[in-house]
């Protein structure tokens, strides 16, 4: 009996594998398969160009007094943090500000739900990037049971009006959803287990939510249906290839902001002053070790 069950299971696995291979081959023949993984050299070349454009955008934001709010949501391991790092690594933290709020305090739990987010909204000449946002209520809180179903429904009902008030006040609101496939999510989670650089990313919540793929899919679909509006649409990025996803997102972000390229400036360094008798003092300075 056990042998028959094993045989049937093996047959099902073989059929599934053949089906996937057939679908993949069909996609390749039709020319619709995914592009190959981007090479590091080309990725860095394109990123260098986009970083220059982000600096130009930054200067326009400063000069115009624009208010830009960027929301990043998506599956666990989809690459939100990495994308945000690439956006902000070459610009000023005085203009670009990242907001990644922890679990709400007991006091915050008694506030109006969006209250703790509103205080972080951009003022003039600021770009604020939310690494997860008020949409926690439509995602993790709903799936993991941290709020009641009626609270989620009420949030989805009110969110469009809330975001209409944001955009009417002059805030440019951009919302990105990063999507990753089940296989790629599994690969990325496994890569965190034994990597000391990544282990901090593997939280107990990640492990709990991993098994609830379709609960998250249903929550995402309901969120899109209720909050994808003309004034604050959702933009979806395929993030299985992190390099391409980052480039595509930054490129799209730049296309949504009406900045102008930086004008060329003829800059020359001034002459450095003469020592005028300066001699370094003999102080007991503590230099760090130099093992490298």
Residues 217/11, Cβ–Cβ less than 8 Å: no
User: Which 3 state secondary structure label does DSSP give 221?
Assistant: helix
Closest CA to 129 of 169, 162, 80: 80
Give residue-wise pLDDT tens across range 173-215: 999 999 999 999 999 999 998 899 988 888 888 888 899 999 9
Within the chain, which residues score under 50 in pLDDT?
A: 1-30
pTM reported for the whole predicted model:
0.84
Give residue-wise pLDDT tens across range 9-35: 444 444 443 333 333 333 444 456 778
For helices 80-88 and 242-256, the axis angle rounded to 10 degrees is 60
């Amino acid at each position: 009996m056990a042998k028959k069950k094993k045989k049937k299971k093996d047959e099902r696995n073989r059929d599934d594998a053949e089906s996937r291979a057939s679908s993949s081959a069909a996609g390749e023949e039709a020319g619709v398969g995914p592009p190959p993984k981007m090479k590091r050299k080309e990725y860095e070349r394109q990123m260098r160009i986009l970083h220059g454009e982000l600096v130009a955008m930054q200067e326009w934001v400063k000069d115009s007094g624009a208010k830009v709010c960027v929301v990043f949501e998506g599956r666990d391991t989809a690459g939100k943090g990495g994308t945000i790092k690439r956006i902000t690594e070459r610009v000023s933290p005085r203009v670009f500000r990242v907001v990644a709020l922890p679990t709400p305090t007991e006091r915050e739990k008694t506030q109006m739900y969006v209250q703790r987010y509103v205080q972080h909204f951009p003022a003039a000449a600021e770009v604020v990037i939310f690494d997860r946002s008020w949409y926690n209520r439509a995602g993790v809180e709903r799936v993991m049971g941290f709020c009641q179903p009626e609270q989620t429904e009420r949030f989805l009902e009110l969110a469009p009006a809330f975001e209409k008030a944001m955009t009417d006040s002059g805030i440019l609101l951009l919302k990105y959803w990063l999507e990753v496939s089940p296989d790629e999510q599994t690969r990325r989670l496994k890569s965190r287990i034994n990597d000391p650089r990544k282990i901090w990313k593997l939280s107990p919540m990640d492990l709990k939510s991993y098994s609830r793929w379709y609960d998250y899919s249903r929550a995402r679909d309901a969120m899109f249906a209720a909050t994808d509006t003309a004034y604050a649409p959702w933009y979806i990025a395929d993030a299985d290839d992190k390099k391409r996803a980052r480039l595509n997102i930054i490129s799209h972000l730049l296309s949504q902001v009406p900045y102008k390229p930086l004008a060329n400036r003829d800059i020359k360094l001034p002459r450095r002053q003469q020592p005028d008798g300066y001699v370094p003092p003999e102080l007991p300075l503590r230099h760090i070790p130099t093992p490298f």
